[in-house]
Structures are given as C-alpha cells and as structure tokens.
Structure 1
Amino acid sequence: MSIALRSLLIAPVLLAGSALVAADQSVTFLSYQSSVPDAWVSETPKSEMRQLQFKVPASGAEGGDGAEFVVYFFGPGQGGTLEANIERWQSQFQGPDGAPVEPTVTQIGTETIPATLVELRGSYGRSVGMGPGDDVLADRMLLAGVIETQEGNLYPQMHGPAELVAAQREGFIAFVKGIQPVAPTTP
C-alpha cells in the first residue's frame, strides 16, 4: 500500500498533552476486537495464555529498552479475582526506601464490558507469583487491566520504563475502552 493511500486510511487522533499521532491498528483476538497505537510492533505471543503481544519501542534519540504490551486470557473463571491480582502486582513493586507501592485503581470500562485499570510505579521485579522476581529494575511502571467479559476475564498489561509506559497510557486505555465483540459475518 502506498504511503499516500495509507495516510488517507489512517485518521489522526489527538492524545491528551501530545501532538497529532498516527491512528491505531486494529487487533482481533478470541471473539473481540479493539485497536492499539500504530507505533506498537506486533510479536508472536510467547505462550498460549497470551492472546496479543506487542513491543512498544522506546522513542527519542536516547534509545533504551522498550515496553511490552500483552493481553492474557486464562479461560472462564481463571486468572484470579481483581483483589488477588492487585495484591500480586503490588508485591512486585517497591518504593525508593523499599516500602510497598500503593496502586492507583480506576474503573474505566463500559456498562456492557466492565474494566478496571491498575497503575503501579517503582522498582519492579516481574514474577509469576507473589513478591519481586530476581531481576529488580528501578523506575518501572505497570499498567494492568482486568476486563470482565462473558468468556472470562482479559488481563491486558504493559510494563517497562516508567516514562515510556506513562507516555503510552492513553493508548492502553483506548485499547481497553475500545474492546467490542467481533460483529458476526453474514453469509
């Protein structure tokens, strides 16, 4: 597709506090659809529980490591309660003095698809269970969602350098708020 044609198909959007950026790329998974920012690079999911996986490249001349965006789905009734997930995510973070980091929890879903956003920032040691993993990295941020669907909960997450993840927050929220069932096709 030519660049000119592509730019006609992609409408610009204005994110809070930012310049115009290219519109989003559509994504479909399970029986849902939404969109993610064009700058996010699709990757092959590393496990069957990952429905989507994207690399969020670092911006600017300084480079640095990027962030990762993943949507987890464990099946109907699986994945734990919102409270259990918040407790686990919180246990993976520490403040500068080693103290626990308090999460920011916000309801961001719709009437038809309830969703909760959890935000944590500090030193982060990603692990599967409780507590920080072995490699604790300073100044990290986690955006984690719990999206309640009829098929079971979806768990979108973005983690990486705090400044980069904070800059991508609106794209993450737009993904969550944009989740819709895939329209059935008619023969």
Structure 2
Amino acid sequence: MKRLLTALALLSLATTSLRAEEGKVSAGNLSFTLPSNLWTAVPTSSPMRAATLQITVEGTDKPLEAVFYYFGSGQGGDTKANIDRWLGQFESPPTSSTEELDANGTKVSLVTATGTYMDGAMFGPKTAKADYTLLGAIIPGPDAPIFIKLTGPKAAVAKITADFKKLAVSPFPAN
C-alpha cells in the first residue's frame, strides 16, 4: 500500500510539472491558463489543495502563492459563506469589496480584502500580518465551485491583481 501511495504522489508531481510547462493548471474539472510566464505551478503542500501557483513580485522576500481548492461534487459551500470565512481571517473587519467578473457568460466572484491578516493553519496558531491583502475567486465548476486564494503584502498584491483576474476567468475563453 505504501508503494502505491508513493507512486501516486510521484505521478501527481509529474503531472503538475507537465501542466506548468504547458502554461496550464487544473482544478476540479476546469483548466486554468497561467496569465504570464512569471507564474509557476508547484507541488501542493496539503491534500486540501487542488493546485498551487507561485509568483515572485518585486518587494517581497518570498513568492506569493495562489492556492486552488476543490472539495468535490456538491461540496465547498456557497459564495456568501466563503466570502464571510475569508473576511473572518482578518484580525478585525478588513476593508473589502466584492465584484462579479463576466467570464463569457459565467459569473466569477472576486473578493479583495485588506487589513491585518491572521496567517496560519486553520486550527493552528496564527501570525498577524499587517497591511495584507487577500484576493479570492469563486469559480463555478461543472459539479462544485473552485476557490482560488492569494494573500500577501498590499503593495505586492496590487501589482498582480490584473493577472489574478485573468487567471480566475481563464477557464471560460471567448469563442
């Protein structure tokens, strides 16, 4: 059994590398196009993650991560519940906005929140990160939504917001 799990893990890493070379990453049943060659797919660090992208932004000491979540058919909760959960990850209510992006007839919800972000594992200790921005996208999938979440210093996130929006709507190209 251990060998089977190891083989599956290696296959997953190989598939992630192949998708990165093609400029795409998959989550749920959707294929996302990387907005530029500055974005790279990296192995996921948790079984909760469907995919992880990194981008190095000038002025940051480590790459920012866009994490894709897909919980399976009928799972993941509705848009409002997820927006509320993301906003609840701040020390106090953040400055936030929600917009609907038109992805060729598909509605993609985009959340932007700025404040003191409480960074850390869901049930673990948190570290307060002042002046951080969270970008979150909720993308309707064929059987359940796909969620993309990116956090980082406000100035760095502002530099890649347009790319993040392109990424969020990329599964629905114009005909």
Structure 2 residue aligned with 1:135: 127
3-state SS in 2 of match to 1:146? strand
Seen in structure 2, the aligned counterparts of structure 1 residues 153 and 145 have a Cα distance that, compared at 3 Å, is same
CA apart distance, 1:111: 5.4
Match for 1:135: what amino acid? Answer: T
Structure 2 residue aligned with 1:84: 81
Question: Aligned equivalents of 2:139 and 2:102: distance in 1?
Answer: 8
Q: Conserved in 1, the CA contact under 8 Å of 2:44 and 2:51?
A: yes
CA apart distance, 1:43: 0.8
Query: Between Structure 1 and Structure 2, whose CA radius of gyration is higher?
Result: 1
Moved over 4 A (4+): 127-130
Structure 2 residue aligned with 1:113: 106
In the superposition, the TM-score normalised over structure 2's length comes to 0.75
**Count of residue correspondences:** 151
Structure 1, unaligned stretches of length 5 or more?
A: 1-23, 182-187
In the superposition, the TM-score normalised over structure 1's length comes to 0.71
Q: Conserved in 1, the CA contact under 8 Å of 2:29 and 2:141?
A: no
Question: Aligned equivalents of 1:63 and 1:142: distance in 2?
Answer: 15
Q: Conserved in 1, the CA contact under 8 Å of 2:30 and 2:141?
A: no
Matched, 1:35 2:33: yes
Match for 2:77: what amino acid? Answer: G
Structure 1 residue aligned with 2:46: 47
CA apart distance, 1:133: 5.3
User: Which of the two has greater helix per residue?
Assistant: 2
Question: Aligned equivalents of 1:44 and 1:167: distance in 2?
Answer: 24
Matched, 1:158 2:150: yes
Question: Aligned equivalents of 2:122 and 2:83: distance in 1?
Answer: 12
**RMSD across aligned positions (CA):** 2.5
Question: Aligned equivalents of 1:80 and 1:127: distance in 2?
Answer: 21
Identity of aligned residues (%): 25
Q: Conserved in 2, the CA contact under 8 Å of 1:88 and 1:129?
A: no
Seen in structure 2, the aligned counterparts of structure 1 residues 133 and 113 have a Cα distance that, compared at 3 Å, is farther
Matched, 1:123 2:116: yes
Seen in structure 2, the aligned counterparts of structure 1 residues 42 and 111 have a Cα distance that, compared at 3 Å, is closer
Structure 2 residue aligned with 1:149: 141
Question: Aligned equivalents of 2:171 and 2:125: distance in 1?
Answer: 31
